Structures are given as structure tokens and as C-alpha cells.
């Protein structure tokens, strides 16, 4: 080697990117290049002439001398001519990974060794990060609630996570390495290979990147619905597919249940609608009947009364007393029947139409009722006293009917033995929280009734008295009962024979808005 | 030559009753007769006949047997065209609407009363029951419509 060659070699070593160390057979450092100074933090002067183990952490530090000796004695190589990853120590004591390749140089008996050192901290870190993230990914995949299956382009399963084991009943090792179609029932089972091939050939997608509901097969052969979304991963020419699987048995069952419920609801709705139509029809038939009754049924009665009246006024003088009485009885009967029809009509109409709810001042209403019946009040010589009465929500016309009937009753069933006194009083109470009501009591000192009949008197056509001396058709209280019930109120009666009667009407102060 | 009120009275305006019920018409005729009301009395049986009479169509073409009435008594419930429809048509017709029209029916339903006035009836009377009531009604109707009110014809 010329000195020029030596000069050139030294320049190469000094400018090399990798660290270059030359040691002799004792391990003493002969050369320590610039790159080494940067790598280890030592100046060359601090290292040259000293044992190279100063650059090694344990266990290399303690073993190096022995290793070197053994190699020189036996030729057993651990690193020389091979190169491996080892650890190195900087001047500050910190340790870092290096890739070390060692070559041997022999000049006569003089053996020396050249170490080429590359700092692989960054590579190691990258490797660590990769392995960390792979680990993390595996952990994520394994703890995922959804099943995750990775297959390659042939359909061979590469990954089968824990959730899949639970879903399919296979341990991973029974599936990995086998074709994924084992997890599919027909028709998917038979079509999958073909499908995969077609996709790889043509790019035609049926599921990849889309996701859909399909059927899956467990180890025990049972089939269950899954939602499958498939993604594609491509690394170079290597294509693989990731399937995310969610068992939707519960959702399907819920959907089915919902569907059944919906159908049931629809059926009930139809029934309800039909019934409501039936009701509407029967109501309108009833209205028609009421209208027919009001005109057609009353027509013949009117004839009897009119012509009976003619008979009496024009031919009365040709009839004897009996004959005149017969005609009077006929006319009287027809008159009563007409009133009865009116009563039935009023009773049935009361339940047919919607209430017309408004503010009703019961004091005004009572005054109006008294005015309507002033002739009868005068005739009966009744003394009427009224307390302060509340304002309620209700159907004014219908409530008028109620109180008119009650006053009319008190007037009719008066006692011949004492002057009639009628009083109306009101009291407020809250029967149920949120429902304020008033109790209107109409009390008289008339002939009263047996308490045993207190409920029966509200039945249609129920009369406790004979017709003698009292007109009416026995529908007044039934009508009252019906109207008060329509207002979600109650009506009750209390009486004693010859001891007067009290009617108590309980009405809520507010009517709930009802939608027709 | 001046006309004598006794020998040559003003021609009385006719009363036209539209009612399908022969008995009611009989009672009305009797009541008007008893009340000594001399207005000519005509009768039709349903809404269709009433309009034919007023428009002098068909069998009512002769003004002598179908004069323009001075008062219409109209029943509501009749077969064919009922009184409600006839009422609407008459009051919608500019040539007929000034003829006073009294609904004269058995119905006392407030809905019928309101509906009749809505359609333009001039009065609504529920037929009285009994001869005395009918005669009283006839007198009042005649006095009111032919004596008291100012008429547009």
C-alpha cells in the first residue's frame, strides 16, 4: 500500500456516513472515525488506544475480551464476517441500537478487525412503533364487539377475531387458513369463490365497500342474519379483504316484532275505523229515525187530536155526556202520546250531538228557567230561594233542560197540604285533585218519595206517581241523568215520603276538551 | 163609474197552500172559511207543483186557475221536491221572491225554524192543533199579510 493509498483510505474512512472502528487483536482501538465521534459522543483521541469494550454496555462489555480471545484461539465466530444488531454505549452512558458488521484483516501475524457501525435507533423505533400499532390493532380487533375477518384474494381466512369465535362458535385456529365460505350457508357458500374471482377480474362490486344484510352459518350449522361490511386493502399486488360482521338477530327479531305490532295496530285501527263508521252510521240512522219519528209518528196523532177537536166543537151537541167523554179520552190519549214522542226525541237527541261547551252562569240559567215556568210557579204558589250559583263550563241549552226539568218536577210533585218551598244551593269542592266541581242542590218540601226508588226514578218511563193530577211522560229525569252524564257529572236524588225531595247535580267546573 | 165597495169589491189576492196532506188542507180550508176569509184558496201537493203553479207551466198555464198568489203557505215535509228546496228556489227567483211566504208546518224543531229563515222565509208558523187554534191562526195570517203590512206587489 502506498502512502497515497493510505491517505485516500483515511479520507474515505473519515468521510464515511457509517461509523468505522479499527481494533487490534487485543481489542485496542486503532481508528475511530468522525462518524463514530458523532455516534458515541467521544473525540477520537479519547478512544484510540483504549479497549473497544468501553463502547459497549453489558453484557457485551464484560464478554468482549473473552469472545475475542476465543475467536483467535478457536476461530469460532459470533459476529465476524456476519454482522448483527447489538447495543452500543455513548460517552454519556446512554445505550443505542446499532447494526454492527465486523471484518477481519490479517497482515502477516498482525490480525486486526474493522467494525462498521450504523445507528439503527430510528429503524428500531419505527419497527417498535409498527409492532406496537400492530399489537394495538390486534387488541382492537380482538376486543371489537363486531366480528372481524381478514381474507386474502383467494378467500382464505387470515384473521378471525374473538368476536367471530363467539358469533360462529369456531375457535380461530379452525378457521384461519381455510376458505371463508365455510362460514356461509347456501347460496352464498357456493357463490363466493365465483364472486370473488369476478370482482378481482372485473371490479364488479356486490358487497365490497357497500355492506349489506346476509346470512351466516355457525359451526353447529345454524344460520343467523348478519350485517356485513367489506373493505378492501391493497398492498402492492397483495389484495386482501376485511369483513366487519354484526349479528343482527336481535334487530331482525325486533323488526319482525315491530312489523307484527304495526300490522296488529293497523288491523286494530281498521277495526276501530269500521266500528266508528258503524257507530256514525247507526247514529245517523238514529237521527233519521228521530226525524222520522218527529214528523211521521206524530202526524196521525195530530189528526186524532184535530179531528177529535172538530168532533167536539162541531158535533158535540149531538153527543151525549158519555160520547163526549169518549172523544175527550181519545184526544187526551193522543195528546199524551205526542208528548211522549217529544220526550223520547229529546232524550235520544241529548246523546246524539256533541255538547256545545261554553261558560254557563248557573245563576242566569236558573233565572231563565224560573221565567220559563213562571205560570206554573205562580199557579203552585211556590216560594223559590236561590243562593249564589257558580259559573261552570257546559252546554247551556242542555243544562237549561236539566234545571227546567228539576224545577218542573218540584212544581208538579208538590204537597197539597203546605205551601211549596223550593231552594237551590251550591257548594264547591275538589273531589279529585285537579278536578274542581260544584254540587247544586235543589230541595223542595213536596210529596217526596221512598228512598228505595232513588235510583230507579232516573230510568226512562219510570214514574212513581200515577198519572192522576200530574202530567209528564216519565222521561224528564232520565233526560237530566243523560245530560249530566254527558258533562261527566252525576245526579242523585234523596227523598222521604211526604218529606220533600232533594236533587243533587254534581258538575265539574271545567270540561275537558273532547275531540270529535 | 166608481166601483162600489159592496157590489164590486177589489179582486182579492189568492192564498196558495203547498201541502201533501189532504187532511191538513181540508182543516186549513175549513178554518179560513170559518174565519170568513174570502181570498181565493188554491192548493198544490209538492214543491214541483208549486213552482209549476208560480211559473204557470203545464196544467197551471191558465192565469184564471193559477193566479199569482198574494201569499204562499208552505209545508216543509213533502214527497218529491220538499218545501225547503222549493223555498230556496222561490227566494232565489227575482220574479217570485217578493211573494210573502209563510212556512206552515207541523215541525217545531228549532233547526227547521232557523233553516227556513236562512232560506228567506217571511214567517214560520207551527200548525196549531184543533179547530179553534186553526181559525185563530187563519185570522191573524189574513189580517197581518193582507191588512197590516206594506206589500211590494
Are the beta carbons of A306 and B77 separated by less than 8 Å? no
Supply the ipTM of this predicted assembly.
0.71
Peptide bond just before A336 cis, omega within 30 deg: no
Q: Chain B contact for A515, CB < 8 A? A: no
**Dihedral over Cα of A409, A413, A418, A419: its sign:** positive
Considering only CA atoms, which of A148, A84, A71, A90 is closest in space to residue A116?
A: A84
Q: What is the reported pLDDT for B108?
A: 80
Nearest-CB residue to B27 (from A298, A306, A313): A306
Who wins on pLDDT, B49 or A101?
A: B49
Q: Chain A contact for B111, CB < 8 A? A: no
Cα angle at A372 between A425 and A362, to 5 degrees?
35
Residue at grid coordinates 184543533: B130
Task: State the CB neighbour count (10 A cutoff) for residue A357.
Answer: 16
Q: What is the reported pLDDT for B120?
A: 96
Q: Chain B contact for A332, CB < 8 A? A: no
Query: How far lies A207's CA from each of A202, A214, A223, in Å?
Result: 14, 10, 19
CA A219 to chain centre: 35
Q: What is the mean pLDDT of residues A355-363?
A: 90
Separation in Å, CA of A310 to nearest CA in chain B: 6
Predicted structure pTM score: 0.46
Q: What is the mean pLDDT of residues B79-84?
A: 90
Residues 6+ apart with CB under 8 A from A452: none
Return d(Cα A394, Cα A360) in angstroms, integer.
Answer: 6
Are the beta carbons of B23 and A309 separated by less than 8 Å? no
CB pairs under 8 A between A and B: 31
As a CATH number, domain B14-145 is 3.40.50.2300
Best-predicted range by mean pLDDT (A377-381, A396-400, B51-55):
B51-55
Query: Residue A299 burial (CB < 10 Å; 0-12/13-18/19+)?
Result: middle
Best-predicted range by mean pLDDT (A79-93, A297-311, B31-45):
B31-45
Q: What is the reported pLDDT for A463?
A: 64
Are the beta carbons of A305 and B130 separated by less than 8 Å? yes
**Helix, strand, coil: what percent of chain A each, to 5?**
50, 25, 25
Considering only CA atoms, which of A447, A427, A446, A449 is closest in space to residue A438?
A: A427
Question: Which residues of chain B neighbour A295 with C-beta distances below 8 Å?
Answer: 77, 106-107
- Quote the percentage of chain A above a pLDDT of 90: 30
Considering only CA atoms, which of B61, B144, B64 is closest in space to residue B102?
A: B144
Question: Which residues of chain B neighbour A313 with C-beta distances below 8 Å?
Answer: 130-132
Question: Which residues of chain A neighbour B131 with C-beta distances below 8 Å?
Answer: 306, 309-310, 313-314
Contact between A493 and A410 (Cβ < 8 Å): no
Confidence of residue A397 (pLDDT cuts 50, 70, 90): confident
Over 80: is that where the pLDDT of A468 sits? no
Return d(Cα A133, Cα A142) in angstroms, integer.
Answer: 14
Q: Chain A contact for B132, CB < 8 A? A: yes
Over 80: is that where the pLDDT of A237 sits? no
SS3 (DSSP) at A387: coil
Question: Which residues of chain B neighbour A304 with C-beta distances below 8 Å?
Answer: none
- Quote the percentage of chain A above a pLDDT of 70: 93
Q: What is the reported pLDDT for A513?
A: 59
In A106-119, which positions are buried (b, 16+ CB within 10 angstroms) versus exposed (e)? eeeeeebbbbbbbb
Amino acid at each position: 500500500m502506498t502512502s497515497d493509498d493510505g491517505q485516500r483510505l483515511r479520507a474515505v474512512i473519515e468521510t464515511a456516513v457509517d461509523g468505522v472502528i479499527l481494533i487490534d487483536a487485543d481489542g485496542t482501538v486503532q481508528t475511530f472515525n468522525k462518524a463514530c465521534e458523532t455516534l458515541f459522543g467521544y473525540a477520537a483521541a479519547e478512544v484510540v488506544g483504549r479497549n473497544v469494550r468501553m463502547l459497549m454496555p453489558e453484557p457485551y462489555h464484560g464478554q468482549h475480551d473473552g469472545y475475542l480471545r476465543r475467536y483467535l484461539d478457536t476461530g469460532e465466530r459470533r459476529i465476524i464476517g456476519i454482522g448483527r444488531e447489538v447495543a452500543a454505549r455513548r460517552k454519556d452512558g446512554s445505550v443505542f441500537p446499532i447494526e454492527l458488521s465486523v471484518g477481519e484483516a490479517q497482515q502477516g501475524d498482525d490480525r486486526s478487525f474493522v467494525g462498521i457501525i450504523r445507528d439503527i435507533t430510528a429503524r428500531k423505533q419505527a419497527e417498535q412503533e409498527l409492532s406496537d400499532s400492530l399489537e394495538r390493532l390486534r387488541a382492537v380487533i380482538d376486543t371489537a364487539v363486531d366480528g372481524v375477518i381478514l381474507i386474502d384474494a383467494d378467500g382464505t381466512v387470515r384473521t378471525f377475531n374473538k368476536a367471530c369465535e363467539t358469533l360462529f362458535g369456531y375457535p380461530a385456529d379452525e378457521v384461519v387458513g381455510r376458505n371463508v365460505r365455510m362460514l356461509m350457508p347456501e347460496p352464498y357458500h357456493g357463490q363466493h369463490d365465483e364472486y370473488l374471482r369476478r370482482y378481482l377480474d372485473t371490479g364488479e362490486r356486490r358487497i365490497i365497500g357497500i355492506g349489506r344484510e346476509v346470512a351466516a352459518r355457525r359451526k353447529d350449522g345454524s344460520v343467523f342474519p348478519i350485517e356485513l361490511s367489506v373493505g378492501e386493502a391493497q398492498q402492492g399486488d397483495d389484495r386482501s379483504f376485511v369483513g366487519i360482521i354484526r349479528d343482527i338477530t336481535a334487530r331482525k327479531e325486533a323488526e319482525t316484532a315491530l312489523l307484527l305490532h304495526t300490522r296488529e295496530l293497523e288491523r286494530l285501527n281498521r277495526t276501530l275505523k269500521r266500528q266508528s263508521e258503524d257507530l256514525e252510521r247507526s247514529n245517523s240512522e238514529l237521527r233519521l229515525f228521530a226525524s222520522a219519528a218527529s214528523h211521521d209518528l206524530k202526524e196521525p196523532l195530530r189528526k186524532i187530536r184535530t179531528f177529535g177537536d172538530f168532533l167536539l166543537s162541531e158535533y158535540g151537541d149531538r153527543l151525549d155526556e158519555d160520547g163526549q167523554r169518549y172523544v175527550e179520552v181519545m184526544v187526551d190519549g193522543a195528546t199524551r202520546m205526542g208528548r211522549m214522542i217529544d220526550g223520547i226525541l229529546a232524550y235520544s237527541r241529548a246523546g246524539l250531538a256533541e255538547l256545545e261547551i261554553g261558560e254557563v252562569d248557573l245563576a242566569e240559567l236558573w233565572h231563565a228557567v224560573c221565567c220559563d215556568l213562571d205560570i206554573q210557579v205562580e199557579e203552585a204558589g211556590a216560594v223559590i230561594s236561590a243562593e249564589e250559583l257558580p259559573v261552570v263550563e257546559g252546554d247551556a241549552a242542555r243544562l237549561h233542560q236539566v234545571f227546567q226539568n228539576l224545577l218542573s218536577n218540584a212544581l208538579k210533585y208538590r204537597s197539597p197540604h203546605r205551601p211549596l218551598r223550593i231552594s237551590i244551593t251550591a257548594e264547591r269542592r275538589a273531589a279529585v285533585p285537579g278536578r274542581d266541581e260544584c254540587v247544586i242542590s235543589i230541595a223542595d218540601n213536596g210529596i217526596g218519595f221512598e228512598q228505595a226508588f232513588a235510583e230507579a226514578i232516573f230510568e226512562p218511563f219510570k214514574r212513581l206517581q200515577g198519572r192522576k193530577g200530574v202530567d209528564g211522560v216519565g222521561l224528564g229525569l232520565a233526560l237530566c241523568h243523560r245530560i249530566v252524564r254527558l258533562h261527566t257529572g252525576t245526579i242523585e236524588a234523596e227523598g222521604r215520603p211526604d218529606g220533600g225531595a232533594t236533587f243533587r247535580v254534581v258538575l265539574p267546573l271545567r270540561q275537558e276538551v273532547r275531540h270529535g | 163609474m166608481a166601483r162600489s165597495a159592496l157590489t164590486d169589491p177589489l179582486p182579492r189576492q189568492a192564498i196558495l197552500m203547498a201541502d201533501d196532506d189532504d187532511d191538513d188542507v181540508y182543516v186549513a180550508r175549513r178554518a179560513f172559511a170559518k174565519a170568513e176569509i174570502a181570498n181565493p184558496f188554491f192548493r198544490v201537493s209538492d214543491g214541483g207543483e208549486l213552482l209549476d203553479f208560480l211559473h204557470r207551466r203545464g196544467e197551471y198555464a191558465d192565469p184564471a186557475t193559477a193566479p199569482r198568489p198574494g201569499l204562499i203557505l208552505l209545508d216543509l215535509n213533502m214527497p218529491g221536491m220538499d218545501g225547503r228546496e222549493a223555498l230556496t228556489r222561490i227566494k232565489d227567483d227575482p220574479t217570485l221572491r217578493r211573494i210573502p211566504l209563510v212556512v206552515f208546518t207541523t215541525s217545531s224543531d228549532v233547526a227547521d225554524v232557523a233553516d227556513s229563515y236562512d232560506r228567506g222565509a217571511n214567517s214560520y208558523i207551527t200548525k196549531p192543533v184543533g179547530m179553534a187554534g186553526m181559525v185563530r191562526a187563519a185570522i191573524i195570517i189574513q189580517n197581518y199579510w193582507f191588512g197590516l203590512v206594506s206589500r211590494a206587489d
